[in-house]
Amino acid sequence: LVWVIAMVKIKTCVFISGQGTNLKNLILKSRDCSFPVKINLVISDNKSAKGLNYAQKYKIPFLLINTKKKNYENKVLNHLKKNKIYLICLAGYMKIIPKRIINNFKGKIINIHPSLLPKFKGLNTFSRMLKNKEIKAGCTVHFVDEKLDSGNVIVKKMFYINNSDDEKILKKKTQKLEYKAYPEAIIKIFKNY
């Protein structure tokens, strides 16, 4: 007799605002039976986010939210609960996560940021790096807490900046690293799961 041990995958929701390239990468990784998570839900604050095409392509339910609506987090929390979500991954999500969601998912929300935190928190990281004449760039996967880009670091990846690198090139190089760093961070979190 051959026993097949099915790994119970962690139900995960990915929040996006734009292209969704990290979402696509995570969906593809999650199809590997040894990868600990399964993407069960996608949430976006932007109805024209290209990343929603990946949700449709891979038949993953998605939710559009209007962050200007009062108490919109109730809708989000209901959907997370309904889909039995355990982990939230922010992937190019351009809004601050409300305190209520953070409190409901303490230690279960992670984000990827296109800089070597604590340097260059927030937006416009690449232009700020170039202005600052930085020698190193990279990305950081970290836990989300109530302070912007301040939670505990899980994984950092770096590269050296060339004199010829502009914002576009920095973005491209950083994204390449992000596709390695995000899955690595998830594996690291659930290694002993």
User: Which residues are catalytically annotated?
Assistant: 113
Contact 157, 138 (CB under 8 A): yes
Return the number of other C-beta atoms located less than 10 Å from residue 137's C-beta.
Answer: 25
The maximal CA–CA distance of the chain, rounded, in angstroms, is 64
Question: Two tokens at 79?
Answer: 């959907």
At 76, which amino acid appears?
V
Residue-wise DSSP of 125-153? HHHHHHHTT-SEEEEEEEE--SSTT-SPE
